[in-house]
Amino acid sequence: MIVIDANFGFGESVVSGEVTPDHFVVNKVTLDILERTISTKLMCYTVDLKIQSRWRPRCRSSGSRSSA
């Protein structure tokens, strides 16, 4: 099994507890997705290219849903 937790932008929003990452469980041999949980994300950290600093825009919310 492979477990993948994913998030938009930098991981700071996950580490600080501001968002819950998406969660996937994948069969390592067949690459079938065995479990998928998509979490609502109201914000993310990314880079402002004008000032070369991190900033916190509101990300598109994907809605919270789960499937197995």
Give the residue extent of every domain in the chain. Answer: 2-62
pLDDT at 22: 95
- Residue 20: count of CB within 10 angstroms of its CB: 16
Architecture of 2-62 per CATH? Answer: 2-Layer Sandwich (3.30)
Residue pLDDT, tens place only, 21-42: 999 999 999 999 999 999 988 8
**26 beta partners:** 2, 33
Residue pLDDT, tens place only, 11-20: 888 898 888 9
CA 12, CA 40: separation in Å to the nearest integer?
A: 16
Residue pLDDT, tens place only, 39-65: 988 888 887 777 766 666 666 545 555
Specify the pTM.
Answer: 0.69
